[in-house]
Structures are given as structure tokens and as C-alpha cells.
Chains A and B, each alone.
Chain A
């Protein structure tokens, strides 16, 4: 079954600290993996898109890694800011149907001062 699982479910950190969010997937055949940031009550916004051949991709303080062999991805946030408080969603796309996104349930991150 094509699934995307994320951990932890929720995370609380202090402003300025780093954190890492995990994503494991069983989706096959794999096309690409995306991390989205979703502020409460708003639409998701894409942070990174990674294809099979990419191991790491950065977007400012966000760095995503991908291990296609173990089917794991991580999103590392450096020097967290209060505005990083949001849900972070891992999304995997199958090669056979690149229009259909398979969503993880997300990690809710709260950054406190």
C-alpha cells in the first residue's frame, strides 16, 4: 500500500534551536518527494522538491535529504524562528500517476521564544 508516515506527530522547540523532521514512505514506483509548510488554516506552500537522484536540497534555513534506497526523507530546520511554527507535510508522488499526491499527516511544529 502506498503510504507516507511522518514523525514526530508534534514538536516543541525554543527559538534559535535546530530540529529535524522525518518522513518514511512505501510509495512505489517513486517519482519525487516534496516538503510543504502549512500555516494554521491556510493552504500548503512548497518548500522543496526532490527527485530520485537528489540526496539533498536546501531552501534558506530548510534542508531536505532523501535516501531513495531506505525510502526515508528528513527536513532539517536551522536556527528556528517563531514564524516556523506550522505543520510540515511530506508528500510523495508515484511515477505512474504524477498528478496524484500522497500526503503524510504532517508534523506540527511549535517554536516558542
Chain B
């Protein structure tokens, strides 16, 4: 158990809909990272937040957005969903500010029908 929690575990929705994925980092961690892993593909970095502020952006679509709240939990919002958005979405956390190991949550499996 990494100490990072993600909800929900599974999510099934229809095209065009909007969903919110939630992540609680390990206690004491200030940085949260979001990743997407499509079937049989590598992890793609989406976005990073550090202590409430956006720190780095990766291959995140304009239809996706994220935020980190004062209690340091983070939410990833996916809108106008398409079939190709079906994937595992992972959240990771660490103290931030350097090459510290990232601890990954169990992931949320999103299925868009």
C-alpha cells in the first residue's frame, strides 16, 4: 500500500459526459502527479501540482483539467469524453521539489462507452 488513495476504482460512462477523478496524496506529500495509461501503452504524464499550484504540464488535452485543494487532495476533470479516453488514470505523490521517488495510487479505470 503506497499511501496514495484514488476514487473511484472503476468508472463507466458515455461519450460526451464529464467525470471527476479524485486523489489523496500520502501524508506530508505536497506534489501530486496525474498519468494516463491506455491499453498496452506506457504511462503518459498529464499534469503536476505542487502545494496547490500547477507546476508542470504534459500531454494533457484541453478537455481535461485538474486542481489541487488546500488540503492537498487533487481532482482530475475529464469532459466531453471520447471512446479514446478509456484508460487507467494514475495519481502519484511525493514531497516535491526534487528527484524524490513518486508513489503511485491504485488507479481509476475509466471506460467510455
| Contacting pair A97 B45 (CB below 8 A) | no
Residues of chain A within 8 A of B44, CB atoms compared? 103
Q: Indicate if the CB atoms of A99 and B31 lie closer than 8 Å.
A: yes
B99 close to A32 (CB less than 8 A):
yes
Q: Contacts of B88 on A, CB cut-off 8 Å?
A: 41
User: What distance in Å separates the Cβ of A10 from its nearest Cβ neighbour in chain B?
Assistant: 10
Residues of A within 8 A of B77 (CB): none
Total count of chain A residues near the partner, CB < 8 A: 21
A-B contact sample (18 more), CB < 8 A, given A43-B107, A99-B48, A100-B56: A32-B99, A41-B107, A42-B107, A43-B105, A43-B106, A44-B43, A44-B90, A46-B101, A49-B101, A89-B42, A93-B99, A97-B56, A98-B99, A99-B33, A99-B96, A101-B102, A103-B42, A103-B45
The 25 listed contacts between A and B (C-beta, < 8 Å) are A34-B101, A41-B107, A43-B90, A43-B92, A44-B90, A44-B104, A45-B104, A46-B101, A46-B102, A46-B103, A49-B101, A89-B42, A98-B98, A99-B48, A99-B55, A99-B56, A99-B96, A100-B56, A100-B58, A101-B102, A103-B43, A103-B45, A104-B42, A105-B41, A106-B42
Closest A-chain residue to B90, C-beta based? A43
What is the CB-to-nearest-CB distance from B25 to chain A, in angstroms, rounded to a whole number?
13
Contact with A along B32-59 (1 / 0, CB 8 A): 0100000001111100101000011010
Docked-complex contact A101 and B45, CB < 8 angstroms? yes
Chain A interface, DSSP helix/strand/loop, else mixed:
strand
Give the distance in Å from the alpha carbon of A98 to the alpha carbon of B97 in the complex.
Answer: 8
What chain B residues lie within 8 Å of A93 (beta carbons)?
99
Is residue B109 contacting chain A, with contact meaning CB distance below 8 A?
Answer: yes
Q: In the complex, which residues of chain A have a beta carbon less than 8 angstroms from the beta carbon of B96?
A: 99
In angstroms, Cα B88 to Cα A42, docked, is 9
Which residue of chain B is the closest to A105 with respect to CB atoms? B42
CB-based contact B99/A31 at 8 Å: yes
